Structure 1
Amino acid sequence: MKKIMFVGSVGVGKTTLTQRLKGLELSYYKTQAIQFYDAIIDTPGEFLQHRKYYNALTVTATEADVIGLLVSAQAIMQTFPQGFSSLFTKPVIGVITKMDLAEDEEQIERARKQLKQAGAIQVFEISALENKGIEELEAYLQED
């Protein structure tokens, strides 16, 4: 299984997705520091939102096989700068979270576009609460 590092803003669903992928009970808590699991690295949202922490992301990325950039289907503001994936020497995928809360296709398309502009080579659409799209992401992570 590929080891993935999740990167996204505060509240985007990195920890919830981690819990879903690990088969744990979903419960919210604020990630204060980088959390290492067997095949998942969960990073605090502040590491993305404050450029001074970018170096922590790039150093931690050496432990991962793939980087997952997460954007909420409800996101209005630009989360990732264009070409953000160039910080990493690993493949970068995009994950649109909270698909169950999307109001229309335009919101989802905005999230897709943002992830593609950031450099995601593939985009997954998931709802961790409804367990939708999880199988596709797991299948990708299982590929050699």
Structure 2
Amino acid sequence: MRKIILIGKTGSGKTTLCQRLHGEQMEYQKTQAVQTFENAIDTPGEYIENRFYYNAITITAADADVIGLIQDCTEQTSLFPPLFAAMFPKPIIGIVTKVDLAKDPKQIEAAREYLRMAGAEKIIHISVMTGQGIDEILQYLDQE
């Protein structure tokens, strides 16, 4: 199975997704440093929130096979600049999180558009609480 690095804002669901993908108990933990799972790399939200850390993202991404850009659909803005994904010579997927919390389908569409503009080649909608989209991510990572 390919390894994915998850990049996204603090509170967007990166750590909880890693826990769900690896069958661990889901509990909120503020990621203070890069955390490595068997098939995932969890990055602190500060890596995308502060351009000073972009170098850390590119260096950490060297250990991944797939880049996962995480966008919480309940957020009204995105921190991903247009074509952000162009800095990575790897497959890029966009993951729209917290779709179960969307009050309006337009929130999910806005999140999709942010990820598309950032350069995501494939976009998956997930809810770690209901399990929606988790199998789709696992199948994607299982492709060679």
TM-score (norm 2): 0.98
Q: How far apart are residue 90 of structure 1 and its match?
A: 1.1
Q: SS in structure 2 opposite 1:79? A: coil
Q: How far apart are residue 78 of structure 1 and its match?
A: 2.2
Q: SS in structure 2 opposite 1:95? A: strand
Distance in structure 2 (CA, Å) of the matches to 1:141 and 1:102: 26
Partner of 2:138: 138
Partner of 1:5: 5
Q: SS in structure 1 opposite 2:30? A: coil
Partner of 1:30: 30
Task: Report the AA paired with residue 100 of structure 1.
Answer: D
Distance in structure 2 (CA, Å) of the matches to 1:122 and 1:139: 13
Aligned-pair identity (%): 49
Counterparts in 2 of 1:71-82, with a 5 A limit? 71-82=71-82
TM-score (norm 1): 0.98
Partner of 1:118: 118
Task: Report the AA paired with residue 30 of structure 2.
Answer: K
State the superposition RMSD in angstroms.
Answer: 0.7
Distance in structure 2 (CA, Å) of the matches to 1:58 and 1:106: 31
Task: Report the AA paired with residue 111 of structure 1.
Answer: A
Partner of 2:53: 53
Distance in structure 2 (CA, Å) of the matches to 1:67 and 1:75: 21
Task: Report the AA paired with residue 103 of structure 1.
Answer: K
Partner of 1:40: 40
Distance in structure 2 (CA, Å) of the matches to 1:104 and 1:34: 33
Partner of 1:100: 100
Number of residue pairs aligned between Structure 1 and Structure 2: 144
- Could you tell me which runs of 5 or more consecutive residues in structure 1 were left unpaired when the two chains were aligned: none
Can you list the C-alpha shifts for 1:93-135, whole angstroms capped at 9, x where unaligned? 0000001101111111000000000000000000001111101
